[in-house]
């Protein structure tokens, strides 16, 4: 087994952008989430009640608990509406240029300790096209099965209401009911006249209001000889987040599990969209792992007391989403229960010979790749997230504030530039906040906290930022240390176990002793993320950890923080990962825009798989492989191509890669 240093490899037009095992890496194509026009028209006509989203302020996604693997490492964007790519072809040149300017100040792999390869084959270039459809992720569930969307049918349930509940209410009635549901007016009830007064018609209206507007109760009243269905609040504001218990059949499991197929949307945004259309809070959804935006992803979701019938109805309304494989279960899903993800990736316009590709893919299958944290872990702007994390651990709160708010080199969204300039000039959080049309970005949240708590209480001001976003910073610092230490470990000892290395026995880390060194392989060796509850290798890498943390004014022997949230217990991570279920093929094609494999939706629609010619203008490498949780597909593909995966490096090589 040989080890190779990082070497520069030319990259042609295109972007290398892939997704880690629980989140998608930045890619270049933006295809905005849309609601089909026909459904909007239906909703306005009162024909399709679930096709009109709630106008409630966008619900904040439930906080994930865990390592933050699936979070977006950008200070600038937490908003669903914010898109960081191109929406109009005419903007491409200007956007590409400004993005290139920004990336001149970004990070390279060398900046975050990514320097080694495990194989010695010659690298070659390839493009993960701006088509996000060239990157598909299928979740592997706790039972080891790969999730697929292959069944759109709804389980037959006699207790489900008639399909008429989706069409019985007019647009005006829906608007009145939504305003009542969301406490947006002073009215305490809404009365709907029953024009065709039959018991069946009244029943359908009762069912429509209760199922489509959670939190509302109904009753029938006679007014001057006319029948009215009166909707009113039963349980106050909490009812919206807690679906009515007595409206759910007792024989049915409380959770509807379904497979969510989504394009170019991360999991949090997808759940926000679904909750808007269902008029419920997003915290009634659960999932095993977050999938980021720039890909087609397929994963399992569970939702509390929303019927498969209602969920399936959303398939008529939403583009870039499909819901299916419905079942009722007793329990929700839990973060971390997944066994991993299966990736299908196309690298287009490859330059490698068939022999080069064969050698590279055989190495990936037999040896694997260094389990580095990928570039998306460290942010995409001139201020890396690990620098903020380091300042938090140092208790340097003024520096934390400055790193997040100070002006940055390179291009940024205009309103952020103005906000930062105002902050630098006045140090007035309220004045800087007024420059932000989007207040829920990290900068906006911190400024709001500073306005509330004052400049002398930065800790409390920073605490307004959601916990997972705060922890993202210190996890980024841990990852930065780990990457650097693993590179040094491989530099000093190569790709074989040595005495003093660490391996896991169960969940416990133990040392490799001289006499049993041959009992282990490099795939067993782990390295610690720094913390108060880990041990370090018994060789010179231990001293390297100490030196690195000391240089950052941190005490490796005291990783507890006086603020409990920021105390690092540490963890262990394998240094080399061998993917499972690896397969590949090289295909020839002429049209760079044609899909090179079918998605689940293509198969459901009966589209025939693509047919390839024996020769073509271009060649593509189609790869399939499975990875465990918290590993980065970027790093697997980096090993194949032998190239720097940072956007900065690619942009320097070709500033028009966004086209």
**What is the three-state SS of 337-356?**
CCCEEEEEEEEECCCCCHHH
pLDDT at residue number 112: 94
Using CA atoms, how far residue 238 sits from 134, 347, 570, 625, in Å, is 43, 49, 38, 44
Is residue 402 annotated as a catalytic residue, yes or no? no
- pLDDT band, residue 160 (cuts 50/70/90): low
Question: Does the pLDDT at position 4 exceed 50?
Answer: yes
pLDDT at residue number 393: 95
Question: Does the pLDDT at position 639 exceed 50?
Answer: yes
CA nearest 4: which of 358, 361, 490? 490
pLDDT at residue number 638: 93
At residue 300, φ and ψ (nearest 5 deg) are -90, 140
CA nearest 5: which of 526, 351, 646, 491? 491
pLDDT digit string, tens, across residues 493-518: 999 999 999 999 998 999 999 999 99
404-409: list long-range contacts, CB under 8 Å, 24+ apart: 404/75, 404/442, 404/443, 404/446, 405/432, 405/443, 405/446, 405/447, 408/105, 408/381, 408/382, 408/383, 409/104, 409/105, 409/382
Could you give the residue ranges of the DSSP H alpha helices within 73-192?
Answer: 92-103, 171-181
pLDDT digit string, tens, across residues 348-394: 999 999 999 999 999 999 999 999 999 888 886 778 899 999 999 99
Its pTM stands at 0.75
pLDDT at residue number 434: 92
Distance CA 469, CA 473 (A): 7
Which of 48, 50, 269, 292 does the annotation list as catalytic? Answer: 292
pLDDT at residue number 612: 84
**Longest Cα–Cα distance in the chain:** 95
pLDDT digit string, tens, across residues 66-117: 333 333 333 333 333 332 322 333 333 334 444 445 455 678 899 999 999 9
Distance CA 414, CA 436 (A): 10
DSSP label of 59: P
When pLDDT is averaged across residues 609-623 and rounded to a whole number, the result is: 89
pLDDT at residue number 158: 58
pLDDT at residue number 316: 86
Question: Does the pLDDT at position 265 exceed 80?
Answer: yes
When pLDDT is averaged across residues 279-304 and rounded to a whole number, the result is: 91
Instruction: Count CB neighbours of 611 within 10 A.
Output: 6
Q: What is the rounded average pLDDT for all residues in the chain?
A: 80
Distance CA 344, CA 359 (A): 19
- Give the 3-state secondary structure of residue 619: strand
pLDDT digit string, tens, across residues 203-213: 777 777 776 77
pLDDT at residue number 45: 32
Using CA atoms, how far residue 297 sits from 83, 292, 322, 544, 630, in Å, is 18, 8, 11, 39, 16
Give the containing element (helix H, strand E) for 478: helix 467-493
pLDDT at residue number 9: 37
pLDDT at residue number 237: 52
Distance CA 332, CA 301 (A): 9
Two tokens, residue 87: 């929406």
pLDDT digit string, tens, across residues 573-592: 999 999 999 999 999 998 88
Using CA atoms, how far residue 373 sits from 445, 486, 575, 614, 635, in Å, is 27, 11, 10, 38, 8
- pLDDT band, residue 412 (cuts 50/70/90): low
pLDDT at residue number 81: 30
């Amino acid at each position: 087994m040989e080890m190779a240093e990082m070497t520069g490899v030319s990259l042609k037009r295109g972007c290398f952008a892939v997704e880690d095992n629980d989140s998608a890496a930045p890619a270049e194509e933006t295809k905005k989430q849309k609601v089909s026009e026909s459904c909007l028209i239906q909703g306005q006509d009162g024909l399709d009640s679930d096709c009109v989203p709630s106008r409630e302020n966008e619900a904040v996604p439930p906080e994930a608990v865990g390592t933050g693997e699936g979070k977006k490492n950008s200070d600038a964007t937490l908003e669903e509406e914010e898109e960081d790519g191109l929406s109009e072809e005419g903007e491409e040149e200007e956007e590409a240029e400004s993005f290139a300017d920004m990336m001149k100040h970004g990070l390279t792999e060398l900046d975050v300790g990514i320097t080694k390869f495990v194989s010695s084959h010659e690298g070659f270039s390839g493009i993960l096209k701006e088509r996000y459809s060239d990157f598909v992720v299928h979740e592997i569930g706790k039972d080891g099965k790969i999730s697929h969307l292959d069944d759109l049918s709804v389980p037959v349930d006699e207790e489900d209401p008639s399909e008429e509940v989706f069409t019985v209410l007019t647009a005006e009635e829906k608007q009145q009911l939504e305003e009542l549901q969301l406490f947006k007016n002073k009215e305490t009830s809404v009365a709907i006249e029953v024009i065709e007064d039959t018991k069946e018609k009244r029943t359908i209206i009762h069912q429509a209001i209760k199922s489509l507007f959670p939190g509302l109760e109904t009753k029938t009243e006679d007014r001057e000889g006319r029948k009215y269905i009166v909707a009113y609040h039963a349980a106050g504001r909490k009812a919206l987040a807690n679906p009515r218990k007595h409206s759910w059949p007792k024989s049915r499991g409380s959770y509807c599990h379904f497979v969510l197929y989504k394009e170019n949307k991360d999991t949090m945004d997808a759940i926000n969209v679904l909750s808007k259309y269902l008029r419920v809070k997003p915290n009634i959804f659960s999932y095993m792992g977050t999938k980021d935006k720039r890909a087609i992803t397929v994963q399992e979701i569970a939702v509390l007391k929303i019927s498969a019938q209602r969920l399936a109805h959303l398939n008529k309304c939403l583009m870039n989403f499909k819901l299916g494989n419905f079942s009722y279960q007793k329990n929700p899903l839990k973060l971390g229960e997944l066994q991993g993800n299966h990736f299908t990736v196309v690298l287009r316009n490859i330059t490698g010979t068939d022999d080069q590709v064969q050698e590279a893919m055989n190495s990936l299958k037999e040896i694997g790749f260094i389990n580095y944290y990928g570039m998306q872990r460290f942010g995409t702007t001139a201020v890396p997230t690990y620098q903020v994390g380091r300042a938090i651990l140092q208790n340097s709160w003024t520096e934390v504030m400055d790193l997040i708010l100070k002006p940055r080199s390179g291009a940024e969204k205009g309103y952020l530039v103005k906000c930062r300039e105002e902050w630098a000039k006045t140090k007035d959080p309220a004045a800087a906040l007024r420059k932000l049309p989007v207040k829920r970005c990290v900068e906006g949240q911190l400024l709001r906290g500073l306005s509330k708590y004052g400049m002398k209480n930065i800790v409390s001001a920073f605490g307004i930022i959601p916990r997972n976003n705060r922890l993202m910073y210190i996890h980024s610092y841990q990852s930065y240390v780990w990457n650097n230490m693993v590179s040094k470990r491989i530099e000093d000892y190569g790709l074989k176990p040595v005495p003093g290395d660490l391996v896991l026995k169960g969940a416990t880390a133990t040392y490799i002793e001289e006499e049993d060194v041959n009992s282990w392989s490099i795939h067993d060796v782990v390295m610690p993320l720094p913390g108060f509850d880990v041990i370090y290798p018994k060789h010179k890498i231990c001293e390297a950890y100490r030196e690195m943390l000391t240089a950052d004014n941190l005490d490796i022997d005291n990783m507890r923080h006086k603020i409990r949230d920021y105390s690092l217990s540490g963890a262990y991570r394998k240094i080399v990962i061998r993917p499972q279920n690896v397969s590949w093929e090289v295909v020839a094609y002429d049209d760079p825009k044609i899909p090179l494999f079918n998605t689940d939706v293509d198969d459901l629609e009966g589209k025939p798989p693509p047919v390839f010619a024996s020769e073509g203008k271009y060649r593509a490498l189609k790869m399939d492989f499975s990875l465990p949780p918290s590993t980065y597909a970027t790093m697997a593909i980096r090993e194949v191509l032998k190239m720097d995966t940072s956007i900065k490096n690619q942009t320097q090589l070709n500033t028009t890669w966004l086209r």
